[in-house]
């Protein structure tokens, strides 16, 4: 593990998720049970959320049981589950207990209070000895019902990395688990997984029919405003101007692990120089120590990620494909040409990389969900690990490239977002992409008219950008500030296409979100709306830098979905 979970005063952000967990546990006490799964990529903060919840939520009527599934061993999981149950119970009863105590010691301490539960535990242990794993597994999850009957306490079972339940060698592990959940109305299950694809598949296929009213939280990165506050707080008392904070937020994409790691090292660098303010040179030096140096934390982290394909016995072109992707070759045809391999071989390798969750697919594009990994592949792995040995000055060259990148980012900050959108429209080539749950083709425009400052401007936005080509037409307005019904109506009724091209697609780009009435009106008027997250997805697919709006909404930082009825 490259970072430990944080709790208490060190825990930052995620207030909406913690508040939701509190709300669901309170409802459990009132007889309303809502199971929850938190899904997100590695190091995004799921375990910190779970442990912070355990650390801060104290209710004598609720017993919270936390188990992290680490090993492919049923007997170890059973031991951990039972010990966690007994330990938490004893702590809430005020009985002295050690978290590292053996199962026998915990059972002796709990014997005056939980005779029925201990009897059931004995039965489970006997089943394991008799090599009846399926029955032992099933009865294990029934323990909370016995506790409820014996003590009146509701139970919250927290299973971290729940997708690994299928690795115990138990037949029908998930279906049996689901059936148990259906009948346990007094137990709430809070699941978490860092295997984004595997957990979604399990919930959609193996548990969909059995999980009544199951809520999924898709945990993303910090939003831009939270990231900016995080940087300022962690660097204090050092000064850091808005442009450099903006660069750090953009570079990390608000990923908590990378934010924490980079800001901590940056602070060390600045203080070691005896300075009181962050400079571009200090940022570059911090990134050099973390990403370029062989012992750097992030260098080691990414080396581990690609290690399956760096071994002498490894077959295929996975590393070459990853580097091609990092250089902007993100379609199968372009990747195959770059690595000089057949498209069938490339597709098979891409599928394997997706299974390992190093990359993801959006329409015809393949992309990294981890922007720093892409940077490392391009600026470190290719240049340092795969280059000729003995090349001098690589470390200094890295500093020069990072400093230049910071300068380019600061220039982009001064650019009108409408100009950024104008340039993006010119990149479209009838490409199919996925925006949320919808697929959309991005037309190849041959004529794009820049917004004219002297023309009428939509309230809070720019004069529309009109893009035409091959019988398609988009009329696009970029709105600053929170969009209202007025901006939607201005685009529909007042844009040039409203008078000349009734079939035009009207596109409203909302940099700072939009109110609910505006969303409803846009849907009614068939206006395509692009929030900042979707706009940045498009910019990323076409190799362009993101637009970072401190204070802007980023609704996909935490997504929720309820499954079942």
Distance from C-alpha of 26 to C-alpha of 93, rounded to nearest angstrom? 20
Question: Does pLDDT of 201 surpass 90?
Answer: no
Residue 110 domain-assigned (yes or no): yes
**One domain, residues 296 and 370:** yes
In whole angstroms, what separates CA 324 from the centre of its chain? 24
Residue 1 domain-assigned (yes or no): no
| pLDDT confidence bin for 445, thresholds 50/70/90 | very high
Distance from C-alpha of 477 to C-alpha of 130, rounded to nearest angstrom? 70
**One domain, residues 116 and 135:** yes
**One domain, residues 408 and 512:** no
| Cβ atoms 277, 270 nearer than 8 A | yes
Q: Report the interhelical angle of 115-129 vs 143-151 (nearest 10°).
A: 160
pLDDT of residue 453: 54
- CATH code of the domain in which 487 resides: 3.40.1350.10
Short-list 82, 65, 226, 141, CA closest to 553: 226
Residue 565 domain-assigned (yes or no): no
In whole angstroms, what separates CA 70 from the centre of its chain? 21
**One domain, residues 392 and 421:** no
Residue 160 domain-assigned (yes or no): yes
Residue 563 domain-assigned (yes or no): no
Q: Report the interhelical angle of 103-110 vs 115-129 (nearest 10°).
A: 150
Residue 282 domain-assigned (yes or no): yes
**One domain, residues 343 and 238:** yes
**One domain, residues 202 and 230:** no
pLDDT tens-digit series, residues 210-245: 544 578 898 989 989 999 999 999 999 999 999 999
**One domain, residues 406 and 514:** no
Distance from C-alpha of 356 to C-alpha of 253, rounded to nearest angstrom? 21
E strands, 355-458, are 360-362, 365-367, 431-435, 438-442, 447-449
**One domain, residues 209 and 240:** no
Distance from C-alpha of 434 to C-alpha of 441, rounded to nearest angstrom? 9
Pairwise pLDDT comparison (215 vs 350), residue with the higher score: 350
Question: Does pLDDT of 392 surpass 80?
Answer: no
**One domain, residues 457 and 541:** yes
pLDDT of residue 555: 44
> Which residues, 6 or more positions from 205, have their beta carbon under 8 angstroms from its beta carbon?
none
**One domain, residues 228 and 183:** no
pLDDT of residue 341: 94
pLDDT tens-digit series, residues 170-183: 888 888 888 888 88
Residue 559 domain-assigned (yes or no): no
Short-list 81, 194, 190, CA closest to 138: 81
Distance from C-alpha of 88 to C-alpha of 54, rounded to nearest angstrom? 10
| Cβ atoms 445, 426 nearer than 8 A | yes
Question: Does pLDDT of 486 surpass 70?
Answer: yes
> 544 burial class (0-12, 13-18, 19+ CB within 10 angstroms)?
middle
**One domain, residues 159 and 32:** yes
Question: Does pLDDT of 1 surpass 90?
Answer: no
Number of domains composing the chain: 3
Looking at 219, 238, 266, the residue that finishes a domain is 219
**One domain, residues 489 and 503:** yes
**Quick one: which H or E segment has residue 424?**
helix 417-425
Distance from C-alpha of 302 to C-alpha of 297, rounded to nearest angstrom? 9
Question: Does pLDDT of 148 surpass 80?
Answer: yes
End-to-end CA distance of the chain: 38
Which pTM value belongs to this model?
0.88
- CATH code of the domain in which 195 resides: 3.40.50.300
Domain span including residue 187: 8-219
pLDDT of residue 564: 36
Q: What mean pLDDT do residues 374-383 have?
A: 93
> Which residues, 6 or more positions from 100, have their beta carbon under 8 angstroms from its beta carbon?
none
Residue 3 domain-assigned (yes or no): no
Looking at 184, 219, 254, the residue that finishes a domain is 219
Angle at 208 between CA 202 and CA 211, to 5 degrees: 105
Looking at 219, 236, 251, the residue that finishes a domain is 219
Distance from C-alpha of 265 to C-alpha of 238, rounded to nearest angstrom? 13
Cis amide bond preceding 237, omega within 30: yes
């Amino acid at each position: 593990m490259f970072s430990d979970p944080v709790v208490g005063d060190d825990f930052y952000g995620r207030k909406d998720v913690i508040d939701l967990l509190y709300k669901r546990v309170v409802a459990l006490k009132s007889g309303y049970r809502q199971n929850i799964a938190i899904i997100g990529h590695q190091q995004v903060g799921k375990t910190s959320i779970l442990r912070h919840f355990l650390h801060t939520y104290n209710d004598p009527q609720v017993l919270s049981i936390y188990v992290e599934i680490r090993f492919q061993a049923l007997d170890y999981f059973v031991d951990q589950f039972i010990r966690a149950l007994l330990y938490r119970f004893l702590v809430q009863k005020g009985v002295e207990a050690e978290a590292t105590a053996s199962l026998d010691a915990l059972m002796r301490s709990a014997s005056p209070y939980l005779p029925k539960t201990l009897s059931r535990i004995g039965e489970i242990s006997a089943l394991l000895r008799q090599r009846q794993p399926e029955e032992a597994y099933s009865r294990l999850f029934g323990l909370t019902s016995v506790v409820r009957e014996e003590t009146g306490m509701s139970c919250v079972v927290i299973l971290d990395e729940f997708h690994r339940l299928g690795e115990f060698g138990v037949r029908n592990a998930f279906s049996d688990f689901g059936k148990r959940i259906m009948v346990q109305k007094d137990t709430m299950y809070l699941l978490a997984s860092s295997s984004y694809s595997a957990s979604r598949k399990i919930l959609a296929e193996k548990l969909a029919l059995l999980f009544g009213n199951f809520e999924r939280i898709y945990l993303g990165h910090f939003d831009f405003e939270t990231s900016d506050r995080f940087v300022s707080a962690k660097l204090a008392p050092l000064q850091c101007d808005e442009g450099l904070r903006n660069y750090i937020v953009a570079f990390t994409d608000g990923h908590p692990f990378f934010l924490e790691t980079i800001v901590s090292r940056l602070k060390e660098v600045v203080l070691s120089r005896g300075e009181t303010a962050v400079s571009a040179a200090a940022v570059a030096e911090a990134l050099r120590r973390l990403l370029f140096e062989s012992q750097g934390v992030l260098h080691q982290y990414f080396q581990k990620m690609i290690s399956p394909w760096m071994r002498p016995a490894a077959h295929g072109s996975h590393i070459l494909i990853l580097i091609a992707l990092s250089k902007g070759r993100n379609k199968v045809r372009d990747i195959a040409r770059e690595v000089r391999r057949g498209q069938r071989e490339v597709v098979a390798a891409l599928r394997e990389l997706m299974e390992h969750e190093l990359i993801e697919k959006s329409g015809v594009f393949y992309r990294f969900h981890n922007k720093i990994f892409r940077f490392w592949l391009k600026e470190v792995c290719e240049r340092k690990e795969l280059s000729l040995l003995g090349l001098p000055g690589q470390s200094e060259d890295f500093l020069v490239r990072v400093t230049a990148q910071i300068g380019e980012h600061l220039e982009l900050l001064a650019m009108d977002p409408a100009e950024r959108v104008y340039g993006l429209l010119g990149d479209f080539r009838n490409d199919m992409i996925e925006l949320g749950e919808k697929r959309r083709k991005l037309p190849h425009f041959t004529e794009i008219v820049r917004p004219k400052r002297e023309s009428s401007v939509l309230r809070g936005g720019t004069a529309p950008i009109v893009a035409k080509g091959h019988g398609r037409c988009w009329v696009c307005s970029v709105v600053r500030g929170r969009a209202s019904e007025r901006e939607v109506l201005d685009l529909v009724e007042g844009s040039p296409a409203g008078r000349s091209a009734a079939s035009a697609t009207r596109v409203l780009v909302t940099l700072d979100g939009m109110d609910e009435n505006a969303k409803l009106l846009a849907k009614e008027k068939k206006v395509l709306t692009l929030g900042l997250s979707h706009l940045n997805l498009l910019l990323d697919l076409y190799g362009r830098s993101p637009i970072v709006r401190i204070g802007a909404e980023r609704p996909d930082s935490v997504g929720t979905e309820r499954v079942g009825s």
